[in-house]
Amino acid sequence: MRIKRFLRMATEAVTKFIFIAAGIVICAPVFLVVTGSVMGQGDLYECLAPVFQQGTGFVSWKLIPQYPTVENYIHLLFYSPEFFVLFWNSAKLVSLILLGQMLVGVPAAWAFATYRVRGKNVIFTIYVVLMLLPFQVTMLSSYLTLDSMSLLNTHWAVILPAVFGTFPIFVIYGGFRSLPIALIEAARIDGAGELRIFWLLGIGLGKGGILSALVLGFLEYWNMIEQPFAFLEDKTLWPLSLYLPEISWTQAGSAFAASVVMLVPSVFVFVMGQDYLEQGIVYSGLKG
Amino acid sequence: MRKFREPGYFLLFIGMSLAGVSVFVLIPFADVVRRSFMTVMSGEFAGLDNYRTVIGNQAFRLAVGNTLHFVGVAIPLLVVISLAAALVLSRIRDIRVIKSLYLFPMALPTATVVIVWRMFFYKQDFDSLVVSYLWKNTGYTIVLWLAGIAGIPNELVEAARVDGANGLQCLLFVKLPCLKGSVYTIVILSFLNSMKIYREAYLVGGSYPGKDIYLLQHTFNNWYVNLEFDKMAAASVMVAGVLFVFILLFQHYSQR
């Protein structure tokens, strides 16, 4: 018996070890970006040249840079004012999109979760299809609308279509579905109005889904590429996510440092909101 | 359980969303359907000409083939690998750290790791695209599977054990059938995320990447840049139509 228990614990420990080792490999790109950001121009050149110049060969990477330096960060933070504009663009776009998504999506999710109305399933299915349509398929229709509203090449061209995206509705809906219906009925019998019920029960008790949608939304829109590329011509309006890849490899130092700065908010949200992130993933598993 | 019947309140709550979706997607898409039958320059009725042009277009064919190839290879791989991982993980305690490690790629904006991708995937081939898709989405899918596994009633597994089923039999005849319901969700979400692989393909390879990773999204983008709206309209209608039918069928069969 004791041997059996020992064997089981041993297998568990070994399995865990294998999973963690694989997980560390998965996270390796971050180490590369971080070490790259503290390498000097010469070191980087030596490492990257084989790939970017000849297009063959392999990158040789030093896990611990020989001469760590903060020159990349200093250059970025003190001598590149355009970086702040781009960072601010990203922050503005993401916060306005998330704010709008909540204003629109929370009531919509509540409607799906609490009312039984004819035609609800039709709307639900349409929303599922809209969620799954790749951006490029609706790009032309968005373009035509935004053009007719003269919103092209303004931040609203990116914000407004995203606000009416249907993905967050399903995540918030998942949170509302976990509320017991008996609770809502009890509130109705006690004479609470529908708006009051929405406010107290929906927002009050269903905020797990709302926070989950915020975490997932942040990670998604902080990483936005297609929308600004299609609708923003003026590069001073671009978010960081679109601008970073434009930096050529000969300025790899700044690119790495900018990447690290861009990573910080994402990683912060990830670490603070991991529980909501997992919850949100589960909620996004839509059950009609 | 009866729910409160009140169309007025339903509309009140969903109204803003419905209005926005109509103005930004549904109505303009109807306009795109109309345009798909018109010539782009003179606006004359062109019948099915645009559709014929698109279907005969070499780039479009290549892109459709590559996209289907990608979806057909990457999604099954993702679903199976993450199921296997989730089945193992579901029997281990304290997996928070492991989940964090696997979910972490979700938190990394594509732009920040693109320089790393350029280093390792300079060949821009099909496999590297599949690898970066798996890299990004395995954690997400494991979490979905774990939720499904947690929903399997314990009594069922215990009962099978008592009846003398071994581990493999438990898995094949008790656990997997219970997970059927999760498959629909997981495939749908994996598909949703598979469309986002364009970001990696575009950032690594640009508008005209290697022949193996030229995706449908590239075609749309290039037509958009060249203002070939007639082709775009016809292709949008076709892709949306195919997806719509596919989702309805998939929904129908998975809910039986």
Phi-psi bin for B206: left (phi > 0), alpha (psi -120 to 50), beta? left
What does the angle CA A280 – CA A283 – CA A286 come to, to the nearest 5 degrees? 140
Contact A132/B118, CB-based, under 8 Å?
Answer: no
Structure confidence at residue A109 (pLDDT): 94
Contact A140/B147, CB-based, under 8 Å?
Answer: no
DSSP helix/strand/coil, A273: coil
Higher per-residue pLDDT: B180 or B34? B34
**Which phi and psi angles does B94 have, rounded to 5°?**
55, 70
Distance from CA of A81 to the nearest CA of B (A): 19
Query: B109 with A30: CB under 8 angstroms?
Result: no
Q: Domains (ranges, CATH) in chain A? A: 2-69 (no CATH), 80-284 (1.10.3720.10)
Highest mean pLDDT among A5-19, B69-83, B222-236: B69-83
Structure confidence at residue B67 (pLDDT): 94
Q: Which tens digit of pLDDT belongs to each residue from A170-229? A: 999 988 988 888 888 888 888 888 888 888 888 888 888 999 999 999 999 999 999 999
> Would the pLDDT of A144 be above 80?
yes
Averaged pLDDT, B216-235: 91
Contact A59/B120, CB-based, under 8 Å?
Answer: yes
Task: Please report which confidence band the pLDDT of residue A64 belongs to, taking 50, 70 and 90 as the band edges.
Answer: low
| Global confidence as pTM | 0.90
Residue percentage of chain B with pLDDT more than 90 = 44
Higher per-residue pLDDT: B256 or B131? B131
Q: Which residues pair with B4 in a beta bridge?
A: A115
The CATH number of the structural domain formed by B65-228 is: 1.10.3720.10
Q: Which tens digit of pLDDT belongs to each residue from A226-252? A: 999 999 999 899 998 888 877 776 777
Averaged pLDDT, B190-219: 88
Averaged pLDDT, B211-216: 89
Distance from CA of A105 to the nearest CA of B (A): 7
B170/A239 Cα distance (integer angstroms): 51
Contact A141/B9, CB-based, under 8 Å?
Answer: no
Structure confidence at residue B1 (pLDDT): 41
A266/A278 Cα distance (integer angstroms): 15
| Among A residues 233-252, those touching chain B with beta carbons less than 8 Å apart | 240-245, 249, 252
Contact A19/B10, CB-based, under 8 Å?
Answer: no
Q: Which tens digit of pLDDT belongs to each residue from A7-42? A: 888 888 899 999 999 999 999 888 888 888 888 777
Structure confidence at residue A288 (pLDDT): 43
Chain B residues within 8 A of A169 when measuring between CB atoms = 17
Contact A244/B112, CB-based, under 8 Å?
Answer: yes
CB pairs under 8 A between A and B: 272
> Would the pLDDT of B251 be above 50?
yes
Q: Which residues contact A125 (CB under 8 A, 6 or more apart)?
A: B247, B248, B251
Chain B residues within 8 A of A266 when measuring between CB atoms = 107-109
Q: Which residues pair with B45 in a beta bridge?
A: B38
Name the amino acid, one letter, at A245. Answer: P
**Which of A123, A163, A244 faces B20 most closely, judged by CB atoms?**
A163
Contact A161/B144, CB-based, under 8 Å?
Answer: no
